[in-house]
Each structure stands twice: as structure tokens, then as C-alpha cells.
Amino acid sequence: MSLNDSSRNDFYDKQLQSPNIIRRCWHNGRRILIHRLVAKYYNGGVIADLGCGNCTWNYRSDYIVTGIDKNREALRYAINQKRIAHSVCADVVDTGLQDGVVQLLVSSEVMEHIPDTDGYLKEVYRLLSNNGIFIVTLPYDTCCSLWKPLFALQCFLKGNMQRDPYYINKCGHIHHYGKKKLKNRLRLIGFKVKEIGVYYGMTLYCVAYKEVET
């Protein structure tokens, strides 16, 4: 296993202190972005982080978060860091939780890894209460983005030259999203988009909500 393998329980915390200034700025910027979006849109109720990893965005422990991840060690680590209060060890496409139990759901750097994208988005939709908020971030992976050439260079240096299996496998990224593609996928599932944008040319983010017609 590579030392950079994302299955390590402290993988994302390590990125926040990376000697690579671009990687360090990207990870720190993303956690600040998510924290700001949660502060802007949270109106009470259950907050969940789907595929939470280290849940670095809750770095000040401002929120009581339920972390959902299939990596038990990452969940334990996030609890020890006081970033999540409750843990659910489950797959992101089948959490086993009840319908409509979450009022705000965060999912960061997950969607680009999931083969069953529709299953993942349908699970998010199912978990959310009516008017529940979905905050999603992922790499801004388009031909005109800053992220794409920097990621390609990183994969070349650490994958092709250093033979790091994690980067040879493109860090597990199997989907590529720009604003239009992300917005269309969300709308197909039934989400309404409140806000979508790009953070410093690297992170694509969207705030959507579930509106059930009565």
C-alpha cells in the first residue's frame, strides 16, 4: 500500500500540511469553503457528511455531524478529532439510514470516485428531508480549469516517475465534472440548484436542495 493511499485514517489531515504548496492550499481552501457554505445554509437539524474521511471542514468542531464512511479507522479518527459526533460505517450508495432524516448533507471529493453515480445521488436525495440542503464539492476537471493540468502533472511525477500506485490509478478518479455536467446530473435526480461555482479555478462546488411537490 502506498503511503499516500487515501485509505489511511489521517490521509486528508496530512494533505493540509503537505510540503507541496499547491496541494496544501487546495485542501485548506476546500475545507474553509465548505465551512462557509454550511454556516450560510444550515438552519438546524441533522448534519451528515457522506464519505466523510477526516471531515476536515468541521475543523473547529462548530457542528454536531454524523459521519458516514466505509473506513472504520477514518471514522474513529474523525471522532477522536471531535469533527464528528456519530459514525455510520456504510457504503455511500446504501447507508441503511431512514428516509428524510438529514437536513443538511455534505459530500466532498466523493462523487468523482463512485461508479454508480445515480445510486449515490439517489441515496443523498432519499436521506434529505424536504427542502434539505446538499453541499457537494469535487475537482473542477475541465479543459479550461487550473486543477486539470496540475493534477496531470502530479500524477505524472508521483505515478510515472515515483511509481506510486495511488497516483498511477489517478487517485481513483473515474468521472470528470464541470458546472454544466454537475448541474444536469443533479437536476435529473430531482434536485433544485441554489448556487454553483468554482473556487480558485480548482474546486467545483454546488449547493442544491430537495423539494418534494405536495
Which residue, among 136, 23, 120, has the nearest Cα to 70 in the 3D structure? 120
pLDDT at 162: 76
Does the structure show a pLDDT above 70 at 103?
yes
Distance between terminal CA atoms of the chain? Answer: 51
d(CA 151, CA 199): 16
**Which three three-digit cell numbers place residue 16?**
493540509
Q: Which of 12-21, 55-64, 93-102 has the lowest mean pLDDT?
A: 12-21
Q: Please give the DSSP secondary-structure letter assigned to residue 119.
A: H
Closest CA to 109 of 179, 49, 191, 38: 49
pLDDT category, 3, cuts 50, 70, 90? very low
Mean pLDDT of 24-42: 91
Residue 98 confidence (pLDDT) above 70: yes
Instruction: Report whether pLDDT(11) > 90.
Output: no
| pLDDT given for residue 122 in this prediction | 98
> Is 37's pLDDT higher than 90?
yes
Average pLDDT, the chain: 89
pLDDT given at position 110: 96
- The rounded percent of the chain whose pLDDT value lies above 90 is 67
Predicted structure pTM score = 0.89
Phi–psi pair at 202, nearest 5 degrees? -125, -40
Q: Which residue has the higher pLDDT, 35 or 24?
A: 35
Q: Which fold has domain 11-140+175-210?
A: Rossmann fold (3.40.50)
User: SS3 of 121, please?
Assistant: helix
Average of pLDDT values for 99-116? Answer: 96
The pLDDT tens digits of the residues spanning 171-193 come to 778 999 999 999 999 999 999 99
- Domain residue limits, the chain: 11-140+175-210
Burial 53-90 (b: 16+ CB within 10 A, else e): bbbbbbbeeebebbbbbebeebbebbeebebbeebbee
Instruction: Give me the helix-helix angle, 179-189 and 117-127, nearest 10°.
Output: 60
